[in-house]
Chain A
Amino acid sequence: MAAVEATIEQVKKIDVDQYKYGFETDIESVKAPKGLDEDTVRYISAQKNEPAWMLEWRLDAFQRWKTMTEPTWAKVHYPKIDFQDQYYYSAPKKAAGPMSLDEIDPVILETYKKLGIPLKEQEILAGVQGSRVAVDAVFDSVSVVTTFKDELKKAGVIFCSFSEAVREHPELIKKYLGSVVPQSDNYYAALNSAVFSDGSFVYIPPGTRCPMELSTYFRINEKNTGQFERTLIIADRGAYVSYLEGCTAPMRDENQLHAAVVELVALDEAEIKYSTVQNWYPGDKNGKGGIYNFVTKRGDCRGHHSKISWTQVETGSAITWKYPSCILRGDHSRGEFYSIAVSNGYQQVDSGTKMIHLGKNTSSRIISKGIAAGFSQNTYRGLVSAHRKATGARNFTACDSLLIGDKCGAHTVPYIEAKNSSAHFEHEATTSKISEDILFYCRQRGLSQEEAVALVVNGFVRDVLQQLPMEFMAETQKLIGISLEGSVG
């Protein structure tokens, strides 16, 4: 098929210039000394003026991390990471924690403006279209600003940087930190627990519906620096929150490590909707550079009738290793996972979810769409399990893969474990390429090959896109377009 040749040609053309967010911000920063030992952990803790208990917790995690080995089971290949050859903390020099907008270095503001992230509250208020979104902007290791704080405060919602939460709300942090992802959960979670620098903290009080979408925007800027942020979201009884996460990084030749931990806790009848648009730098056409994204995300449906839903759009990072999971502990709780993972170039994605049914009459739904192009490898790996006492557990899983080009791979590795008879599990997966007939039909009606592919792909991922908050939907559609540009097959 001639089109395949064209594909390879097109893929070759995909280069760094496709990645819009690859610029670098020139700003002075304060860094921890290179390498990782107990002193690094102490340094980070001191920089943040953390109380002693927090430092203890970090050191404990660090001790555990030293005894652990890197996981090797994922279908990703990369040279061994030298954990001593990077910086674990970097902060813009002037920023000593979140402050008012006027005090922020204009260079940073400029960066977010380039990225299209609204940090100025007034502008958005004046805006005619779209709803408002409160943003916590994380630049390298620290949170630089959180918008709409006052308005949220009126509703009783706490939305601040993690460091601020440690200072202002220690009782909540002590109660919930590590309760979903323990320090020793896995290699990267342990590393994160030891050196995490900042992140977002959200607490929604009982019976409150968060008045606006909350959002965190992560930006890696500094060279040789790993980003280790931690997000903790607690929705108290009957609360609701929708949370968005976005991430970008400059284009660099070396690989940068991003090892985040996200913990969600939903109490009785609470609902958390967590959406991610991951757009880290994926590396250049030869697979050089790009972010290593080793992330642990887990939600705990602790209360009855609670609900956690993960929606993710993955287009970036050289290697993705991430399994947003739901522990369905409360009776009648529900977990959802919607994912679109687009890989191109030499990207490697090993992603999926875990739905662990513990409570009675719990239900979960997994919709995963993998699109592999170029030389990429795209793996869905998921676990659905129902424990002995989880009677009435229900799951539906559909994971579909679309292959564009003959040099890429799409893999499905589901684990389905039903330990009691009343569990009702259904799993289906398909893999195919875009039908020639459909492409022909579109082209006959005057669409170009690329437009036709984009149309089909957008149709393919529609189930997932519909789950995204309005603000992200348009952006995501464009993102998918970019990642697939030139990969028509």
Chain B
Amino acid sequence: MNVAVMKTKFEQSLTEQFNHVSARLPGGAAVGVARKAALGRFSALGLPNRRIEEWKYTDLRNALKEPLAVAVDDDTKVTVADLIVALGPLAHLEGPRIVFVNGGWRRELSNLEGAEGIEVAALGATLTAAQDKIGEALAGTTGPDNDAVLALNTAYMTDGAVVRVGDGVEVGKPLLLVFMRAGNEGRFVATRNVVSIGKGAAATIVEAFIGLPGSTAEGQHNSATEILVGDNARVTHVKIAADTGKATHLSNWMVGLGAETVYRGFQLNQGLGLARNQIFATYHGEGAKLDLSGLFLGRGTEHIDTTLVVDHAVPRCESRELYKGVLDGEARGIFQGKVIVRPDAQKTDGKQMAQVLMLSPDAEFDSKPELEIYADDVVCGHGSTAAELDTDLLFYLRARGIPLDTARSMLIESFVGEALDRIEHEGVREVVLEFARGWLANLGR
């Protein structure tokens, strides 16, 4: 049904702003063409709305009303001390880091010492310097081409990290990519990371989306990460999106898995006014293992959506998904997990689980764990549960003299712990736990 609909203020603004900023967006002629084409796609598609099945529970057309100015060449002043404050528990994480503020690379805040064996560069500079072919490749994505959010990302991306881990290189310390929101005015920021992990390599990559305390609470971040994992490589890929409760976070991960790879992805969402996390994972080689997990913590009127598409295109692969959510106030959590098993993908082993704890009578959880299976020699299962805190367990703890608040925290922490345990890197796991604890400490009930 193609009904011509009026463009919303947001759609109109983001279509029009392109003319003003396109000259300042990085990249040569070929990248410019790709951007323009992407903008055309966005313009034709409009923002996703509830009429589109995949966006049934997250109506961006309705939710994104106020357009913000697109961030280009941002020069908001941020010092190293500011960065440390904003990083919070992440400040203690040892390892190289590359920092972006409002979508622009900050050389002075970044520190790539200890990044042996990894090439890390800023996307903006790379696009400017690169020949057309490379630029075009960087601007292309393996995500769906009918995704308006991804199209917006291609049209407006200003910067991000280009990461290459060479064949056989094993990187011990995690590489931290920091995307900070700062300043007194809310901005529309689009960043893109392009990561390639060589054959037999091992690496841990952490993306952090944070706000500088004292800045405006408004902001829209559109992020995309392309990650291609070479045969036999092992990757831990973690995202920590922790903000102050108003900002919009739209994210796409496109994960391509080589043969016999082990990929572990984890996403923490807290303090986000509106979040949509999409992961598109595709197997390119046999025997690969995918483990996706996450934790979403919502309060107030926050809206957190996790949407996964796991495409078993080849035989003998394994996928595991475990998502946990804690919803307070009028928060709304959404989990959509689609596992596709193609006709030839025999011996597929897939398991999916989404569990939510609802702390308030007004919280809402919508779940759609979907299986689409075309091969017969497979074992696939999924589960989804929603419930409130078990009063019997609370009673048990209280009967043993533990105050109500502490008892609740204990139960919640043990509930979310299962998902956190999926993070292999101990240091990163500790950081995520600290973030989650910070959120729980403010439950105040």
Contacts and interface: CB of A to CB of B under 8 A. Distances in A.
A408 B343 CA distance: 8
B376 A427 contact: no
A403 interface: yes
Contacts of A403: 373, 375-376, 378
B375 A406 contact: yes
A431 interface: yes
Interface string B341-371: 0010010000000001011111111111111
A427 B372 contact: no
Interface stretch (A78-86, A337-345, A409-417): A409-417
A432 B361 contact: no
Interface residues of B, number: 37
Contacts of B131: none
B387 interface: yes
A335 interface: no
Contacts of A412: 369-371, 382
B386 interface: yes
Nearest to B333: A418
B256 to A, nearest CB: 24
Interface string A415-456: 111111111111111111100000000000000000000000
Contacts of B356: 418
A416 B383 CA distance: 11
B23 interface: no
A411 B371 contact: yes
The winner among A1, A408, A431 for most chain B CB atoms within 10 A is A431
Nearest to A407: B343
B373 A418 contact: no
A404 interface: yes
A489 B380 contact: no
Given A403-B378, A416-B366, A428-B382, A421 B360 contact: yes
A432 B378 CA distance: 5
B377 interface: yes
B125 interface: no
A420 B361 contact: yes
Given A424-B386, A427-B383, A388 B366 contact: no
A73 B359 CA distance: 34
A405 B361 contact: no
Contacts of A423: 358, 386-387
Interface string A363-392: 000000000000000000000000010010
A427 B388 CA distance: 16
Contacts of A489: 376
A67 interface: no
Contact of A431 (B379, B385, B386): B379
Q: What range describes how many residues of A lie at the interface?
A: 35 or more
A25 B383 CA distance: 48
B384 interface: yes
Given A401-B373, A406-B346, A427 B361 contact: no
Interface string B1-34: 1000000000000000000000000000000000
A100 interface: no
Contact of B383 (A69, A409, A429): A429
A424 B387 contact: yes
B384 A388 contact: no
Contacts of B380: 430-432
B117 interface: no
Contact of A428 (B362, B381, B388): B381
A412 B368 CA distance: 9
B396 interface: no
Nearest to A69: B1
Contact of A416 (B1, B358, B377, B386): B386
B371 A410 contact: yes
Given A411-B370, A431-B371, A418 B365 contact: yes
Contacts of B367: 414-417, 427
Interface of B: 1, 53, 327, 343, 346, 356, 358-388
Interface of A: 1, 69, 73, 388, 391, 401, 403-433, 489
23 contacts: A391-B361, A401-B371, A403-B378, A406-B376, A408-B376, A409-B372, A410-B371, A412-B369, A413-B368, A416-B369, A416-B384, A416-B386, A417-B366, A420-B361, A420-B363, A421-B362, A423-B386, A424-B388, A425-B387, A427-B382, A430-B379, A430-B381, A433-B376
Given A415-B367, A427-B367, 7 more contacts: A406-B346, A428-B383, A429-B369, A429-B371, A429-B382, A431-B373, A431-B379
